[in-house]
Amino acid sequence: MKDDIKDNLSFTMDLKDCNGDIWASVMIIPLKEAGKRDILLMDVVEGPYSARSITELLNLLEKRMVPFDDRRMVLEFLADRLHILELNGI
């Protein structure tokens, strides 16, 4: 079951600008320790950033002038993926 979830579900979300070009990706990665997660923002220009919390990531996106609707979409993506990880004990 766990392998099916990993194979069929993306834990990466691309962020695109108004021209449709990807400028960053948000990733949630399960760590070896049970229940631990790593939240990454991989910016094309500024490189990777590991956020300690969802709030920290949202504040970072706000500082980078990411529109509210896009920040909300990132929050919904993370909440959904975290819920799936929890349900499946990953």
The pTM for the full model equals: 0.79
In angstroms, the CA 55 to CA 23 distance is 20
Judge whether 41 and 51 are in contact, CB under 8 Å.
yes
pLDDT for 50 beyond 80: yes
What is the chain's mean pLDDT, rounded?
85
SS3 of the chain: helix, strand, coil, percent, to 5: 40, 30, 30
